[in-house]
Structure 1
Amino acid sequence: MNEKILVADEVSSLGIRRLESAGFQVDIKTGLTEDELSEIIVDYNAIIIRSSTRITQKVLSNAKNLKIIGRAGVGVDNINVEAATKYGVVVINSPEGNIISAAEHTFGLIISLLRNIPQSDRSVRSLEWKRNKFTGHELYRKTIGIVGLGKVGSNVAKYSKAFGMKVIAFDPYISFDRAKEMGISLMSLDDVFKEADVITVHVPKTKETYHLVNKERISLMKKGSYIVNAARGGVVDEAAVADALKSGHLAGVASDVFEVEPIANDNPYISIDNTVLTPHIGAATKEAQVNVILDVVEQVIAFFEGRVPHGAVNLPAFRGVSDDLLPWIDLAERLGKFIKDMVSQRVNKIEIIYYGDIAKKNINPVSVSVLKGYLIKIKGNYVSFVNALPLANDLGIKYTESKESEDVDFKSVITVKVITDSGVRSVSGTILSDQKPRIIGIDDYRVDTFPEGYLLISRHKDKPGIIGRFGTVLGENKINIAGMQLGRNSKSGLAVMILSVDSEVHDSVLESLISGGDIEELRLIYLS
């Protein structure tokens, strides 16, 4: 191997030795600024990082020889994945190397919180012996509410059952059958907050999960209950939790992650005693750190040997795929993201239907790309082309693909249908002669729009004044309309409108649009 690899964050020496034994030239340079990294990155074919180093647009624009970025961990928030894809650089991560460590740390926080272990430790070190002051609670027969039943949440559920706890959970994506197999009662989010003695969150930070634990939901909780966050900073509204701690409504909070890291003097938890705080060390075990670096190293080796790395999170991961299929893979991921944002209900099944010439091609990577797009909206950017299908299986989501000989209007079409308890929703797309993706159908409505950026989708009564209202309200809120498409259904008397807008439309603006009446459904969809 003649490739040069830069290791830009501290990692286990076992990973370094494995790379060197495979014949790579490895340089270790940690603590680099963006400018310093931008200056030297041109010399390297691969870079391995953890969470400290940021791979930005500026860095990538100078990385003329870079082929692959290895993230030793799960989150890729510190990597501009979109820019990496543009430059043809593969991004890989290690989505499962630290699951056990994160779950164990969560449970350590729970026990520490309910038994006042850190506080009593500090007291004893001050030569105090105040046993009554630190009387805690048993976990046995308590109810734990788990928000998010992914790999970490599922392990926390298993540990909780071993302690004799009743396990309830909210996860709008896992099937009831899968939850039943795990011995977990699925409930609505509000009901979980009402019934749980301990709430623990295990969800990625997204627009939907930002401040998921807020003042309103905390008010639903029992007096004297607890909150634990070892997932992502920002999922919990720290100010709201601090107020509930001060008022006595909450008995305690434990957090490994914070909205601002490193934690600052103005963090509301700092001055409150009934808190257990750790510096984002959920994955900081020797075992996890070895697991993730060895996993990433093996993927880097596989990549340079011509194999597909199992943790690839972006489009260039498809080797051996013909160039003419790449636009369809891109379209498929966009359709998966689109249909996820269109549906609020739990999805039982995803159907992918191919019409025309595309049905004659190797559709497997296209189908996987649909699942990847759908799951990214749920699980975040650690979803890859390789783990998308197993993740769908974990959630109990069935998927099928079928082929039809032709479509009446287009040479090739992909239709994605989702089946929920409430019915069926669908979106269709194609690639036109300019090789650009188009959405050409939403449910029974024919449209023609480019699936990119912010799309405001309205299903409303087909009557005068609706379009004018949207223009007025969006204009008043300084939201520019870049494009508009309409679709009509004479049988239902309804129409669909797709507005491409230049910026995010906040909830207050959406509520203002809905309050005018005649709108059956309004969705804001973001497609990067």
Structure 2
Amino acid sequence: PCTESPLFALPNVVVTPHTGGSSAEALAAVGEVISTSTLAALRGEAVPNAVNLPASSLQARQLQALTSIAAAAGRLLAVLAPERAARFGVTVDGLVQSDIVEHVVGAALSEALGRWTDRRVTPVNARLVAEESEIAVRVSQDDPNPECVPAFSFEITLRDEDEPAHHVVVRWDRREAGIVEVDGFRLNSPLAGDVLITHHRDQPGMIGQIGTILGRYDVNIAGMQVGRRERARGAAIMVLNVDDEIPAAALAEITVISGIETAYVVSLPHPAPVDPVLAMTAP
């Protein structure tokens, strides 16, 4: 070991052997990291310190809260476009560390690929599976403004098309994440739970017809959001949260309503709140 050094004479320097880091507090912190990471892995959740993924600057629960919603965005894109996409793009707004971006991309891409292919896809091999499936993956940083609330815009482009077919926006305030926009329609509250989504023409009677069909099949509506791009009679979207499973027969009736373009049913996770103490450690 080193026995002489100018550092030894400095009054503001404390020198210890390597075991100096083995204090009761340090060992307790190591044990918490190991147990939290192990439990997350067993649940199939994101692990911030896995050896085959980028080391994350977020703790396990924070990372899981974000990646579970990113995975839901990928799942929603695959439901909106059951056909395998040609391009999968992610645009990041706000200042987000590159390791976090990689975890988000992996979570969303693996969930979409799990529906587009018959492969076993995880965030670890998602990019490789995308390449082998001839899906181009593009990730870009739009505005790295540290004052901006981070958002991730996911979009897919189908084969033989130039413009994106669908896109989903996830907003992350570094404590909670949620899907706040679908195909250009902004939602009043984050998308979560068992959901019916329709793209339709804005016209009288649309809400009533859908509600009547769901009522006939004993499906209870828990909440509803409606958005449109134009003042009236133009393209619109409806998002219904339901308490009961929507039968295929009910969905079939909804899709043939005059003015309905498409209708989808998808189950999405609710945003998982993060412990405020943990959130304070977020970058």
Instruction: Look up the match of 1:518.
Output: 259
Instruction: Look up the match of 2:45.
Output: 315
User: Is 1:331–1:430's contact at 8 Å kept on the other side of the alignment?
Assistant: no
Letter aligned with residue 90 of structure 1? A
Q: Which structure 2 residues correspond to residues 371-520 of structure 1 after superposition, within 5 A? A: 371-379=109-117, 382-405=120-143, 411-420=149-158, 421-422=160-161, 423-424=163-164, 425-432=166-173, 435-490=175-230, 493-520=234-261
User: Is 1:359–1:405's contact at 8 Å kept on the other side of the alignment?
Assistant: no
Taking the aligned partners of 1:350 and 1:486, their CA distance within structure 2 comes to: 27
> Kindly tell me: are residues 440 and 316 of structure 1, through their superposed partners in 2, closer, same or farther at Cα, counting changes over 3 Å?
closer
Taking the aligned partners of 1:441 and 1:521, their CA distance within structure 2 comes to: 17
> What SS does the corresponding residue of 1:347 show, helix, strand or coil?
coil
Taking the aligned partners of 1:406 and 1:478, their CA distance within structure 2 comes to: 48
How far did residue 338 of structure 1 move? 0.9
Q: Looking at both structures, which has the greater relative contact order when contacts are Cα pairs under 8 Å and sequence separation is at least 6?
A: 2
> Kindly tell me: are residues 315 and 67 of structure 1, through their superposed partners in 2, closer, same or farther at Cα, counting changes over 3 Å?
closer
Match of 2:71 among 333, 338, 343: 333
How far did residue 450 of structure 1 move? 3.5
For normalisation by structure 2, the TM-score amounts to 0.69
Taking the aligned partners of 2:195 and 2:96, their CA distance within structure 1 comes to: 26
Taking the aligned partners of 1:463 and 1:495, their CA distance within structure 2 comes to: 9
How far did residue 381 of structure 1 move? 9.1
How far did residue 337 of structure 1 move? 0.8
Match of 1:346 among 74, 81, 84: 84
TM-align CA RMSD = 2.8
Instruction: Look up the match of 2:12.
Output: none
Letter aligned with residue 257 of structure 2? G
User: Is 1:375–1:383's contact at 8 Å kept on the other side of the alignment?
Assistant: yes
> What SS does the corresponding residue of 1:357 show, helix, strand or coil?
coil
Instruction: Look up the match of 1:28.
Output: none
Instruction: Look up the match of 2:29.
Output: none
Letter aligned with residue 387 of structure 1? N
User: Is 2:106–2:122's contact at 8 Å kept on the other side of the alignment?
Assistant: no
Structure 2 gap segments, 5+ residues each: 1-34, 50-54, 270-283
Taking the aligned partners of 1:317 and 1:66, their CA distance within structure 2 comes to: 9
Taking the aligned partners of 1:358 and 1:66, their CA distance within structure 2 comes to: 23
Deviations 1:352-392 (A, max 9, x none): 00001336764111111111121233457942221212111
Taking the aligned partners of 1:458 and 1:410, their CA distance within structure 2 comes to: 31
Taking the aligned partners of 1:410 and 1:494, their CA distance within structure 2 comes to: 30
For normalisation by structure 1, the TM-score amounts to 0.39
> What SS does the corresponding residue of 1:509 show, helix, strand or coil?
helix
Taking the aligned partners of 2:253 and 2:222, their CA distance within structure 1 comes to: 20
How far did residue 469 of structure 1 move? 1.3
Deviations 1:187-239 (A, max 9, x none): xxxxxxxxxxxxxxxxxxxxxxxxxxxxxxxxxxxxxxxxxxxxxxxxxxxxx
Q: Which structure 2 residues correspond to residues 43-192 of structure 1 after superposition, within 5 A? A: 88-91=39-42
Taking the aligned partners of 1:380 and 1:502, their CA distance within structure 2 comes to: 30
> What SS does the corresponding residue of 1:90 show, helix, strand or coil?
helix
Instruction: Look up the match of 2:31.
Output: none
Residue 137 (structure 2) pairs with residue 367 (structure 1):
no
* Identity fraction in percent: 23
Taking the aligned partners of 1:524 and 1:410, their CA distance within structure 2 comes to: 32
Instruction: Look up the match of 2:52.
Output: none
User: Is 1:439–1:448's contact at 8 Å kept on the other side of the alignment?
Assistant: no
Q: Which structure 2 residues correspond to residues 293-304 of structure 1 after superposition, within 5 A? A: none
Letter aligned with residue 245 of structure 2? E
Figure out how many residues of one structure are paired with residues of the other and give that number.
222
How far did residue 455 of structure 1 move? 1.3
Q: Which structure 2 residues correspond to residues 239-318 of structure 1 after superposition, within 5 A? A: 314-318=44-48
Taking the aligned partners of 2:36 and 2:153, their CA distance within structure 1 comes to: 36
User: Is 2:37–2:47's contact at 8 Å kept on the other side of the alignment?
Assistant: no
User: Is 1:358–1:413's contact at 8 Å kept on the other side of the alignment?
Assistant: no
User: Is 1:438–1:448's contact at 8 Å kept on the other side of the alignment?
Assistant: no
Taking the aligned partners of 1:359 and 1:490, their CA distance within structure 2 comes to: 37
How far did residue 442 of structure 1 move? 1.2
Taking the aligned partners of 2:212 and 2:260, their CA distance within structure 1 comes to: 16
> What SS does the corresponding residue of 1:505 show, helix, strand or coil?
coil
Deviations 1:126-168 (A, max 9, x none): xxxxxxxxxxxxxxxxxxxxxxxxxxxxxxxxxxxxxxxxxxx
How far did residue 488 of structure 1 move? 0.8
How far did residue 67 of structure 1 move? 7.3
